[in-house]
Amino acid sequence: MVERYSRQILFPGIGETGQQLLKEKHVLIVGAGALGTGNAEMLTRAGIGKLTIVDRDYVEWSNLQRQQLYTENDARERIPKAVAAKRRLKQVNSDVSIDAQIMDVTPQELERICDGIDLIIDATDNFDIRMMMNDIAHKYKVPWIYGSCVSSYGISYTIIPGVTPCLHCLMRQVPVGGMTCDTNGIISPVVQMVTAYQSVEALKLLTKNENALRNKLVSFDLWTNQHTSINVEKLKNKDCRTCGERPTYPFLAYENQTKAAVLCGRDTVQIRPKKQGNRDWENLAFNLSKIGNVEQNPFLLSFTTDGNRLVLFQDGRVLVHGTNDVVHAKTLYNRYFG
């Protein structure tokens, strides 16, 4: 429908040719939180051909302040974010093909879903996952757009394999600790600003307007009115194990993958089983209901006992709420789901 995109087609940078290119493109968005929902909605309204949205979590009340696709009902029913996002986006533009994946991101999963991907957008809050994305993007020569925000601060950078420094070049090592939305809060305008930077770079790449790319790392603090644009070209490292002359893609190696992860200041530990597989949910729910409170929807089972809430997903992952102690979380996991 030309009328639907008429104002976008009138824009000289896109035009009819660019609009047709958008329709042919497939974008992977890793994470369906604040940045993920913002980018997904912009690209869906712009007429992208296909979106694959990957997220491991479900909608909670604290998400509603800034994660624009979700409703109170999604939080009330603990709908997985990928599913809730797909439902809303199909109402926005039914012509866009949307693949919603409820899963934890691992190198194996990235390898499986990256075939045919034209662009990856970072919308996660986890540097382990970002480094995996960085390796996958360079292994398969797929551009990706880094984005992060917390408090009133945001940052974004577009990474082109073989051209720009990669995230490994910039960071040199995976950051540990630091501010998170759960420890320092966040205001929604900073989300919209980072989303705008990511989405416009995505439109440039997807419509083959590489000459219009920003080519700099941008950071800003909306509350203190600071804005910085940095040329990081000289940081490209020829010995980098991800994008250098002899890449080994270290963050795809099994020993560098997190098996039990404390989730970003949320007083929650994720346990990922050795093997994925479906469980007999009906029997499990019946047995667990004898010792605690059980709630279910088609995507997850929530079990509360002794001050801890354990949420089981269909792929076998469990979120253990109420603790940051990995050992204690594993004990609870093995006691109830092992």
Q: Give the domain range for residue 211.
A: 3-255
Residues 187 and 275 in one domain: no
pLDDT computed for residue 303 by the predictor: 87
Q: What is the CATH number of the domain that holds 33?
A: 3.40.50.720
* Least confident segment among 1-15, 223-237, 312-326: 312-326
Decide if pLDDT at 165 tops 80: yes
Kind and range of the H or E element at 84? helix 81-92
pLDDT computed for residue 276 by the predictor: 61
Residues 275 and 246 in one domain: no
Q: How far apart, in Å, are the Cα atoms of 43 and each of 122, 192, 261? A: 14, 14, 31
Task: Determine the Cα–Cα distance for residues 158 and 197; give it in Å rounded to an integer.
Answer: 9
Residues 73 and 204 in one domain: yes
Higher-pLDDT residue of 184, 37: 37
Q: What is the pLDDT of residues 21-64, one digit of tens each?
A: 999 999 999 999 999 999 999 999 999 999 999 998 999 999 99
Decide if pLDDT at 256 tops 90: no
Residues 225 and 85 in one domain: yes
* Maximum mean pLDDT: which of 41-55, 121-135, 225-239: 41-55
Residues 296 and 227 in one domain: no
Decide if pLDDT at 260 tops 80: no
Residues 160 and 219 in one domain: yes
Residues 327 and 311 in one domain: yes
Rounded mean pLDDT of the chain? 88
221 phi/psi in degrees, rounded to 5: -130, 105
Beta bridge partners of 221: 153, 226
pLDDT computed for residue 331 by the predictor: 77
Residues 123 and 111 in one domain: yes
* Least confident segment among 26-40, 95-109, 173-187: 173-187
Higher-pLDDT residue of 179, 301: 301
DSSP secondary structure letter of residue 186: B
Task: Determine the Cα–Cα distance for residues 67 and 188; give it in Å rounded to an integer.
Answer: 8
Average pLDDT over residues 254-260: 58
For the chain, what is the domain count?
2
* Least confident segment among 139-148, 158-167, 322-331: 322-331
**Cβ-based neighbours of 288, under 8 Å, separated by 6 or more:** 294, 301, 303, 336
pLDDT computed for residue 212 by the predictor: 97
Higher-pLDDT residue of 298, 33: 33
* Domain boundary pick from 255, 281, 306: 255
pLDDT computed for residue 122 by the predictor: 96
* Domain boundary pick from 213, 235, 255: 255
Q: What is the pLDDT of residues 80-94, one digit of tens each?
A: 999 999 999 999 999
Residues 242 and 267 in one domain: no
Residues 114 and 170 in one domain: yes
pLDDT band (50, 70, 90) for residue 177? very low
Tokens 């007429």 belong to which residue?
A: 47
Q: Which amino acid is at 321?
A: H
Q: Report CA Rg, the chain.
A: 20
Q: What is the CATH number of the domain that holds 306?
A: 3.30.310.10
Residues 197 and 281 in one domain: no
Task: Determine the Cα–Cα distance for residues 288 and 270; give it in Å rounded to an integer.
Answer: 19
Residues 325 and 271 in one domain: yes
pLDDT band (50, 70, 90) for residue 173? very low
* Domain boundary pick from 255, 278, 301: 255
pLDDT computed for residue 98 by the predictor: 98
CB 36 within 8 A of CB 86: no
pLDDT computed for residue 174 by the predictor: 44
